[in-house]
Amino acid sequence: MAATGSEKQGGEDVKSFYVSTPIYYVNDAPHLGHAYTTVAGDVLTRWHRQRGEKVWYLTGTDEHGQKIMRTAEANDVTPQEWCDKLVEEAWKPLWEHLGIANDDFIRTTEKRHTDRVQEFVQDLYDKDEIYKGGYEGPYCVGCEEYKLPGDLVEDENGVKLCPVHKKPVEILKEENYFFKLSEYGPKLLEFYAANPGFVQPESARNEIVNFVKQGLQDLSISRSTFDWGVPVPWDDKHVIYVWVDALLNYATAVGYGANQEKFDATFPANVHLIGKDILRFHSVIWPAMLMAQGLPLPGKVVANGWLMVGGEKMSKSNLTGIKPQDLTSHFGVDAYRWYFLRAIAYGSDGSFSWEDFTARYTSELANDYGNLASRLAAMVGKYYGGVLPEATAAGAAEQAVRDGLTKAVTTADLKIGEELDFQSGILSIFDFVKQVNGYITEQEPWKVAKDESPEGRARLATILYTAAEALRGVAVLLNPIMPDTSQKLWESLGAEESLGALSDQRVQDAATWGRLAAGATVTKGEVLFPRLEEKPA
């Protein structure tokens, strides 16, 4: 999809708009929480492609560490066999099923990654940024992280638990190599002050600033009690700490140390999308590592909230993981892609509810949007034999629709493309859909059709053309969110005949009125959002 080198615009090299998801642990199959972040990244990058921009979208899997090793052992296979099976049978097929248009899929067991990780860490060691020491403290295998004593919670028996996984921590004592993270506190605070939008949302930024102000400890960057990881290049008794290994995927996947042209045209990421439980790694450790290596820092780190079930974070360890396929088989893939970004303010926690999904699907997708498309096609078919008429009698009502489309485009482009406020952007589009429905109701084309005078025919043609042209704009705006149904609508409107492929339409041109050609063939295709059957048992 995206190019691997620089593109020229006006004689200048243009950097890719680079978005990443976390790379996901392959200790189990993906659930709704993983898909939530990945769909958000897909919508964001599709939106920028719809703008005509050069884009690079990266996702992948994190395959080293103690948690993976123990999971493989429990299943009587090697760690590599376990990772291969999960990636090929669960992770990649799900992203394909959900229509994720990623440009690359990085696996941390790939040689293109592991070689560069060793080089990066060796460079830091040679620069005296790494030293040998020892450490003892509480460790959560689920997080693959040493915990600060103040981070832990206690159960009713006084047992210290990880606050994320609610499982007992292990007290580990081992000889490690350490990165001089403590020296980067002042530099990080200076960077945060100069770049107030670096960590989002604001609550996450405040958390990180306060955390760094309390003083940073040096970071253990190796483990010596197991061997499933990338060997430390100068001491093969140690493997590189899985989080150092994992964070470097954002550099190794785009050519760090291997393809300088691609690296320069892509790195750093414009947006790292993450879950809030891995915020410190991405907004403290990752920028400090880049500072130490003299590399540019990302544009922003955006932490989404947790999807909750029964008041608990959705996860396999809490037995609340729900497979996305459980929902797509009932609601459809496009509705799935739409729902979570529509129902939950990105950056906030949100509870999934089957009942809420059903209600929103029925009201907004089926009744408002799908029914509008169906009614328009039916009326053009009935009154004009499926040929889109020309508008010749536009007035104030039609101008209001045109203004509504302009507002929807402007708002959605700002909210989705820039602010990552997916909910507000989607709402602005569906507010316009409601406006067009109201326009049809008020203009009553079924009554106007009874007036066979030239004035009546001109008025009917104008009403139907206005609705069709409005839907043309909606198809463009919703294409990054619901690509399959947007394509069906595009074909139903006969837009491809005169305007070409939907993917070639630009968001910034979507409000330009009159693009849909009169004379286009309008067809009533399959229902965009079919009536839901009963909830499966």
C-alpha 45/C-alpha 83 separation (Å) is 27
Tell me which of 85, 316, 434, 524 is the catalytic residue: 316
Encoded tokens for 87: 């990636």
The answer to whether residue 143 is catalytic is yes
The answer to whether residue 282 is catalytic is no
DSSP structure string for 169-182:
-EEEEEEEEEE-GG
The answer to whether residue 165 is catalytic is yes
Looking at the chain, how many residues does it have? 537
Strand 231-232 versus strand 312-313 pairing type:
unpaired
C-alpha 457/C-alpha 448 separation (Å) is 8
Tell me which of 83, 140, 147, 276 is the catalytic residue: 140
The answer to whether residue 313 is catalytic is yes
From the list 386, 389, 385, the residue with the least C-alpha distance to 465 is 389
Tell me which of 48, 83, 113, 162 is the catalytic residue: 162
Encoded tokens for 12: 């200048």
Q: Max Cα separation, the chain?
A: 91
Tell me which of 143, 238, 276, 330 is the catalytic residue: 143
DSSP structure string for 94-156:
HHHHTT---SEEEETTSHHHHHHHHHHHHHHHHTT-EEEEEEEEEEETTTTEEPPGGG-EE-T
- Angle, in degrees to the nearest 10, between helices 483-492 and 371-384: 10
The answer to whether residue 83 is catalytic is no
The answer to whether residue 31 is catalytic is yes
CB atoms within 10 A of CB 191: 17
From the list 36, 37, 17, 35, the residue with the least C-alpha distance to 103 is 17
CB atoms within 10 A of CB 316: 15
Encoded tokens for 217: 């400890």
Tell me which of 15, 85, 160, 165 is the catalytic residue: 165
From the list 226, 220, 245, 65, the residue with the least C-alpha distance to 133 is 220
Tell me which of 34, 67, 276, 282 is the catalytic residue: 34
State the catalytic residues. Answer: 31, 34, 140, 143, 162, 165, 313, 316
